[in-house]
Amino acid sequence: MTTLLYTHPACLEHDTGFGHPECPARLTAILNVLRRSPFAALEWRDAPAAEIAQLTRIHPQAHVERLLAQVPRQGHHAIDGDTILSPGSGEAALRAAGAACAAVDAVLNGEANNAFCAIRPPGHHAEPRQAMGFCLFGNTAIGAAHARAAHGLERVAIIDFDVHHGNGTQAAVEQDAGYLYISTHQAHIYPGTGRRNECGVGNIVNLPLMANSGSADLRHVWRQDIEPALREFQPQLIVISAGFDAHYLDPLAELNFNEDDYAWLTGQILAVAADYCEGRVVSLLEGGYNLPALATSVAAHVKALMEAPKAAQRSLVKNILERQKAKRNAAGL
Amino acid sequence: MYEFLQYQVRDAMTADPIAIGPDATLREVEALFEAHDFNGVPVVDGHHHLIGVLTKFDLLKAFSFDSHTLVPHYDQIMEQPAEAVMTRDPVSVDQHLPLSRLLQKLVEMHTKSLPVVDNGRLVGIIAREDVLKALRRATLQHELPVHAESSP
Ligand SMILES: [Zn+2]
């Protein structure tokens, strides 16, 4: 089984202005790495533009129309100090959200184990009624909603390991127990949400980390909070908001994850997916602003996705061994 | 060293220091730091009463990560008034404080300088360098002759 890569040249045409950290070169750096031989088995697919009906599962139609109408014919339009539109932004945003839906379709139709969407603009800060924080449409929430509405899934888990809290994704799903949203992020930075006591209807797990937290802290919250919550939820699909700005070289925050951490975390998520949903994982690019670190971190993440069958096998063997052990224990041996 | 014990803050401070009003912009403050190599500047109201201190540290802090924007915006931040980022109710010292005690305060607080007040009105700034200079002066006058006599 394969790993799919969804992307589109239109995502390079979203121009945020000179020097902006969320720049087209991020995507170029990623795609350059993914074109190399270790990734030859990736199946590249063009991201389609999302249909308006796919967006309106998360965003009110009037908001979608207003946002698309704000796209300038030339120059730039600033939604806020961080969030800039250029003439190419509308199509890029539609392709980014469309990638999420297409990847969900492909994975749920059994065309592949899993998929990575190399897209921009990112999405997890986009609230149902407010574009913000470099984000226009809530790609992750839109993909998760598509899985439920178009494929009838009852339980979709979202794991967001971007260094910033995904306020937009949380706002979109916090009233619906059919979603589980789990986020690790640095405490006290943008956007200010994501405290532990924000629990939604019991379906939100926020894990703020203090500045300078790193590999050991990630492993700790995985064991302590993320894995138990995921397993209890028994997801039918896992969607990842894959931001890489928690890397120790990233200029926008102060967590200290590295490439090995991203590979490890991806492997852990895949192992849970193997146990509950035949390994079905859709991962979407969010942040990551040191270009070399972004490229190597995405490479580590995608490599782990491509090696998923092995992880699934390991997990299966582990399950069998554990069941045998439990039987032996029950028999008093 | 005995001479040093006689000194008060007013004997060593820089009198009538440059000060700014609460609505000076951070851009103006930075220009001041650039021109004078100050580490900080006192902030006074219309009656020259000390209401705050704005240091390079406060200026840096204005640019640190917060929850309002993903990226701090230089122009927007530099247009802010001093009172938005200054340290309010700053520690200050009376001009009659013995310099030995002032030295103690600087050491304890790890601070580089303190504003000097007279009934709440700003009258000076006393810095690490001023105290070091006073120490040198106090020992030059009275201890050098002793050494001079003992030399061959
Ligand atoms: Zn981020």
Q: Which amino acid is at A51?
A: E
Cβ–Cβ contact A194 with B under 8 A: no
> Is the predicted ipTM greater than 0.90, yes or no?
no
Q: How wide is the angle at C-alpha A69 spanned by C-alphas A65 and A70, nearest 5°? A: 120
Segment A121-142 mean pLDDT: 98
User: Does residue A310 have a pLDDT over 80?
Assistant: no
Residues β-bridged to residue B127: B113
R_g of chain B, CA atoms, integer Å: 19
Give percent of chain B with pLDDT exceeding 70.
92
With beta carbons less than 8 A apart as the criterion, state whether B87 and B58 touch: yes
Segment A75-100 mean pLDDT: 97
State the CB neighbour count (10 A cutoff) for residue A309.
15
Cβ–Cβ contact A35 with B under 8 A: no
Instruction: Assign 3-state DSSP to chain A and report helix, strand, coil percentages, each to 5.
Output: 45, 15, 40
Task: Give B113-142 pLDDT, tens digit per residue.
Answer: 999 999 999 999 999 999 999 999 988 865
Contact B67 A252 (CB under 8 A): no
Cβ–Cβ contact B67 with A under 8 A: yes
CATH of B2-143, one of 3.10.580.10, 3.30.1330.60, 1.25.40.340, 3.40.640.10: 3.10.580.10
What's the predicted TM-score (pTM) here? 0.87
Q: What is the dihedral of CA A143, A144, A145, A150, to 10 degrees?
A: 80
DSSP annotation string for A176-199: -TTEEEEEEEETTSTT----TT--
Residue B152: HSE in the Cβ half-sphere, 13 Å Cα cutoff: 0
Domains in chain A (CATH in brackets) are 3-330 (3.40.800.20)
What pLDDT shows up at residue B141? 64
User: Does residue A317 have a pLDDT over 50?
Assistant: yes
Query: What's the gap in Å between A105 CA and the centre of ligand 1?
Result: 26
Domain boundaries along the sequence of chain B: 2-143
Average pLDDT, chain A: 95
Please tell me which residue, B83 or A312, carries the higher pLDDT value: B83
Please tell me which of the candidates A134, A191, A252 has its beta carbon nearest to residue B67. Answer: A191
Segment A152-167 mean pLDDT: 98
b/e map A100-124, b = 16+ CB within 10 Å: bbbbbbbbbeeebbbbbbbbbbbbb
Question: Measured between alpha carbons, how far is A141 from A147 in angstroms, rounded to an integer?
Answer: 10
Catalytic residue among A8, A125, A165, A185: A125
